[in-house]
A and B are shown apart, each in its own frame.
Chain A
Amino acid sequence: DAGVTQSPTHLIKTRGQQVTLRCSPISGHKSVSWYQQVLGQGPQFIFQYYEKEERGRGNFPDRFSARQFPNYSSELNVNALLLGDSALYLCASSFWDDRGEETQYFGPGTRLLVL
């Protein structure tokens, strides 16, 4: 089975521009989460969606927005890009086991460079 897929793999933008990142979860997974990983740090939670509804939001400005589509794929949008938005953006989809324990499986990420 295919894992989590993300597009594009790399992206270069200039300050002030807008960017859209895309994610497709593992087949059958209904939840998608987005994380930002700045160089040298662990990932930071941005958003979580379940069944097309936002279920959680991290400490990020309103320039960051996301949505989930009926097929459970998701888009992350970032407006008015800043140099500090340069990072690896990771998408994860969630699986619940027989005990109801959730595990998040990550995609390969999108590397965004803002110049």
Chain B
Amino acid sequence: AQKITQTQPGMFVQEKEAVTLDCTYDTSDPSYGLFWYKQPSSGEMIFLIYQGSYDQQNATEGRYSLNFQKARKSANLVISASQLGDSAMYFCAMREGPGGSTLGRLYFGRGTQLTVWP
């Protein structure tokens, strides 16, 4: 079974509007971390936001917020006030196990291509 599922191959949003990118995950480990990365056409993976499984509040970083619904095993990324520079591939990733005591490989989804139009 896929550990990370991103069901939206592509999304389109108008500049200044908000957009939600979907991500569901599958793990039996009670401790895990969820990440979102942005990958422009240049190829570099840019870290955006992190949510720990025990965090009580949804993570926020500037215009990025993570809508974490633990019971549904979903970790959707919300980008507010979209900008043309937000056009890129977005990947959801998961690390299993507690971050403090183990080194965790990341499991990635297939990504969502976001296009922001003027």
Contacts and interface: CB of A to CB of B under 8 A. Distances in A.
A99 interface: yes
A58 interface: yes
B103 A103 contact: no
Interface in A75-110: 88, 90, 92, 94, 96, 99-109
Question: How big is chain B's contact interface, by range?
Answer: 20 to 34
B100 A96 contact: yes
A15 interface: no
Given A88-B43, A105-B47, A56 B108 contact: no
Contact of A41 (B104, B105, B110): B110
Contacts of A42: 4, 91, 93, 108-111
Contacts of B105: 33, 45, 48, 56, 58
A41 B50 CA distance: 21
B106 A101 contact: no
Interface of B: 4, 33, 35, 37, 42-47, 50, 52, 91, 93, 95, 98-101, 103-111
B103 A100 contact: no
A102 B105 CA distance: 10
Contact of B100 (A41, A50, A90, A101): A101
Interface residues of A, number: 31
Contacts of A55: 103
Given A42-B91, A43-B106, A43-B108, A101 B43 contact: no
Given A33-B105, A45-B106, A48-B105, A101 B52 contact: yes
Nearest to B101: A100
A101 B45 contact: no
Given A40-B110, A45-B106, A92-B106, 19 more contacts: A35-B106, A42-B91, A42-B93, A43-B45, A48-B103, A56-B105, A88-B43, A90-B45, A96-B99, A100-B100, A101-B52, A102-B33, A102-B103, A103-B47, A103-B50, A104-B47, A106-B44, A107-B44, A109-B45
